Structure 1
Amino acid sequence: MILHRMKRPSLYLSTCMMAWAAITMCMSAVQTYRAAVILRFFIGFVEATFFPGAIFILSRWYKRDELGLRTVFLFCGNSISNAFSALIASGILASLDGVLGFTAWRWLFFVEGALTFTIAVFAIWILPDFPSTPSVWLSPEEQILAKQRMEEEVVTRIEYEGKPERNFSGLAEALMDWRVWWLGVTLHLIISSTSFTNFFPTLSATMGYSATTSLFLCAPPWILGTATSFVVARHSDVTGDRFWHIVGPLLVGIAGYIIAISTMNTAVRYLSLFFMTQSPVAYAVSLTWVMNTFSQSQSKRAAAVALVSTMASTGFVTSSYFWPSSWGPSYVNSYLICILAGIVSIAMCWVFKEHLSRCNEVAEAEEKALGLPEGFRYLL
């Protein structure tokens, strides 16, 4: 909601990134558990700004049928980090332990925080602002074109009715719209269904190889998952379909869970990891569906994206209890919970799709009866 009213979102997001990095570096100096908990809280507080904020900025630059691929471009940073962060961390832990009298874990926080801070400083000039904000990246003609594209794409219902948007009208509308809560719960379940991402090195370690080999084995599944996510997102944009491009990856992930449950063969279990890494793209496409659904009002879209992201992120809290070490190394119970969460989320997506389909049919019937040109249609 702050971003919606700012002229320089690049400065806002970059400042939050710098605060995030600075607190991470401070983590390297903590001496007590209480201090660590306090700093972790503030890391989460400033970090939470970035992803939904970046998603919202994308929605201000790209049309509805262009957002899927762009969202996945942003989301792929998470997949790439899943592939290589464990290796980077193991390198830091192995090479910097005891350097200058500091233990390896302190160096881990300091190095990662310092790198993030450096990138955040440059991001002030790299990140885009809104199309309506003067830009050094765009010529005046390109900026006019960018504004016209979004004016053609987004015609707010409030402006169409001649009623100006008030300060918190978007928030009030989002809170009162059941679809926001429905999508929030749906994305919460999708996060829960794909919670294996936080425990991927642990699942790789169940293959029985050394720690270093297990970390190397994490990379190929995520590389394939990242590559196919671009294909899924691009096809979703071209066809204008969201539902099947959410359900498809989730079903592939569920197939991976079933394979992992059904055998203890090392090669087959490793193959199941390749299936699992296909499912996280469903979350990126789901976020795109959220922005598509509430694209008629920019203020409501800002509030809706924030609320849905908040509810979805709580999935990381609940799903952390899905993978206790006592259930390993097979983690059958964990996989069963993920399968259940995936099935319920698919069912909720189907209900939502049917609702939007009926809304489109009603709008089409009204336009024909009144002789009006074709107006807004929800993407399914």
Structure 2
Amino acid sequence: MSALDDSKTGETTSAIGDFKVPLDVPHHAACARDDLERRLLRKLDLRMSIIVVIFTLNYIDRSNVSNARLQGFEQDLHLQGQQYATILSILFVGYIIMQVPANMFLYWLGRPSIFLPSCMLVWGAISALTGITKNYAGAVLARFFLGFAEGPFYPGSLFLISQWYKRDELALRVALISCGIPISNAFGSLIASGILQGMQGKLGQAAWRWLFYVEGSVTMFVAICAMFILPDFPHNTRWLTPEEKALAISRLAEDGDSRTEPSNKTSMQGLWDALSDWKVWWFTVAYAIQLLSQSFFAYFPTLSATMGYNTTVSLLLCAPPWVFSTIVAFALSRYSDKKQRRYIYFAASNAVTALGFIISICTMNTAARYLSLFLMAQVYAGYMVFWGWVNNTWSQEPAKRAVALALINGLGSIGNITGSYVWQSHWGPTYRYSYAVCLSTIGVSTGMLGVMHLYLKHLNKQMVRKDSERDGKDNEGLGGPVGFRYLV
């Protein structure tokens, strides 16, 4: 994307792909443009909503082993010691391997409507086949390849929305697509309770095996539908009119400035740019530590069971905290977009989560521990603001952003691997040591991102000063064009 000056018309335009679109819209056309923009966003949001369904199924297929654990999964596969924790963690090995190459390939291919559903089709098949495993080795292999197939989806979907929405629209859209995570935790447990209660012994199969068969099959069906619903990128999405394509492109051009990178930057150049930027690595380490503090996700049904209820009730009790988490996530993300601030809302969400950890450390009271599950679950609100922040940080560099998103999400998932071993059975039912680990790590991640917050504020001040000097003014550049600024 680059700004050009049309010498024949005197009009500033933006060249992207095969399109040349005006950046300055005449005053008399403003109302018509606003109406077209509203229609474009409605159409786009409606299409993008399929990602919520995909995300829900993504996490259901990833976490259904936790629900299966309550109905004989460990006993039937004769698991011992840390073998269950290994089955959980091995998924993230395959998940990490695929992140960067998949997003580089997606950037090169330019067809997310084909690539992302194809990955979904594969992981749905692997999830269904997990139900036929007979031993520990089979479960490990199934989980490894499940992670391998799931790896491209989250960074790919983040990159897809970053190619359509402006900086002040991103956090809410990240929340919209990412709400599939808490929804899956809520309704995945409800669905699992129905399957585990009603399918035991059907066709001679254990109920936990039916859990994988049913949920994997649903994923494959939705994957086929998604191929006809998902958009590609603004310049090559077939169901947009020429006017809508031009507007989609010009919106992004207006959101940028002269620092916007050329559209012909290659995936390999994006890889090098991301690897050589220390901010990418700082976000990656902070995210890995943050995910370690969120390791209770995979053990949520187990933590619910510590309140002393049977399997069905324990699974049903998992739903309300995640519904609450979804509501908080929408509210926080919308407010973050409105105020154009990120870190303060991320830190506030982490502080509430830390309070939940402290309550669980201090008491075994049923009501207090259930309240703590609500406080801990809302950490997803800050998690979604975090990804809006990451997208904003490299919003001007699509090739670099594609790699940065994948690198942060991929290597950051090392936190999920280590987190799988934090909740050891002999630490239950209080899990005080586990909660203490989560409490300390969430403090570290909040502090690290606080440092990044201060650094980006410093860069913004430097850019304001340079703009002011360039314009020959002493009013912090208010008399000239406002360039790119980091959201902090």
One-letter code aligned to 1:345: S
CA contact (8 A) 2:127 2:216 kept: yes
Aligned to 2:276: 176
Question: 2:104 matched to 1:104?
Answer: no
Judge which range, 212-221 or 32-41, deviates more.
32-41
What TM-score comes out, normalization by structure 2 length?
A: 0.74
Query: Which secondary structure state, in structure 2, belongs to the residue aligned with residue 280 of structure 1?
Result: helix
Residue by residue over 1:178-206, the C-alpha shift from the partner in whole angstroms, topping out at 9 and shown as x without a partner, is 10010001111111112211111111111
CA contact (8 A) 1:191 1:316 kept: yes
**Aligned-partner Cα distance in 2 for 1:307–1:50:** 13
Judge which range, 93-102 or 283-292, deviates more.
93-102
Which consecutive residues of structure 2, in runs of 5 or more, have no partner in the other structure?
A: 1-103, 472-479
CA contact (8 A) 1:156 1:298 kept: no
**Aligned-partner Cα distance in 2 for 1:80–1:198:** 14
**Aligned-partner Cα distance in 1 for 2:311–2:130:** 25
Which consecutive residues of structure 1, in runs of 5 or more, have no partner in the other structure?
A: none
Question: 2:318 matched to 1:218?
Answer: yes
Residue by residue over 1:9-42, the C-alpha shift from the partner in whole angstroms, topping out at 9 and shown as x without a partner, is 1111111111111122222333454333223221
Structure 1 or 2, whichever has the larger Rg, is 2
One-letter code aligned to 1:140: P
1:1-380 equivalences in 2 (<5 Å): 1-136=104-239, 138-155=240-257, 157=259, 159=261, 165-371=265-471, 373-380=481-488
C-alpha deviation, 1:6, in angstroms:
2.1
Residue by residue over 1:129-177, the C-alpha shift from the partner in whole angstroms, topping out at 9 and shown as x without a partner, is 11111322x33222221111112224574747xx952441110010011
C-alpha deviation, 1:51, in angstroms:
0.9
**Aligned-partner Cα distance in 2 for 1:20–1:264:** 39
Judge which range, 241-250 or 6-15, deviates more.
6-15
Judge which range, 93-102 or 352-361, deviates more.
93-102
C-alpha deviation, 1:225, in angstroms:
1.1
Query: Which secondary structure state, in structure 2, belongs to the residue aligned with residue 330 of structure 1?
Result: coil
CA contact (8 A) 1:92 1:104 kept: yes
One-letter code aligned to 2:270: G
Judge which range, 187-196 or 61-70, deviates more.
187-196
Larger helix proportion of the pair: 1
Judge which range, 18-27 or 330-339, deviates more.
18-27
Alignment CA distance shift 1:200-1:39 (3 Å): closer
**Aligned-partner Cα distance in 2 for 1:343–1:368:** 38
One-letter code aligned to 1:377: R
Residue by residue over 1:305-339, the C-alpha shift from the partner in whole angstroms, topping out at 9 and shown as x without a partner, is 00000122111111111111111111111111111
Judge which range, 253-262 or 26-35, deviates more.
26-35
Instruction: Tell me the percent identity.
Output: 46
C-alpha deviation, 1:94, in angstroms:
2.5
C-alpha deviation, 1:113, in angstroms:
1.0
C-alpha deviation, 1:348, in angstroms:
0.6
CA contact (8 A) 1:63 1:150 kept: yes
C-alpha deviation, 1:245, in angstroms:
1.1
Alignment CA distance shift 1:376-1:200 (3 Å): same
CA contact (8 A) 1:158 1:164 kept: no
CA contact (8 A) 2:256 2:484 kept: no
**Aligned-partner Cα distance in 2 for 1:224–1:262:** 23
**Aligned-partner Cα distance in 2 for 1:340–1:32:** 36
CA contact (8 A) 2:364 2:430 kept: yes
CA contact (8 A) 1:17 1:116 kept: yes
**Number of residue pairs matched?**
377
Query: Which secondary structure state, in structure 2, belongs to the residue aligned with residue 125 of structure 1?
Result: coil
**Aligned-partner Cα distance in 2 for 1:244–1:176:** 27
C-alpha deviation, 1:47, in angstroms:
0.5
C-alpha deviation, 1:262, in angstroms:
1.8
C-alpha deviation, 1:295, in angstroms:
1.2
Judge which range, 78-87 or 233-242, deviates more.
78-87
One-letter code aligned to 1:73: L
Cα RMSD, aligned residues only: 1.7
One-letter code aligned to 1:62: Y
Alignment CA distance shift 1:31-1:378 (3 Å): same
Aligned to 2:33: none
One-letter code aligned to 2:407: L
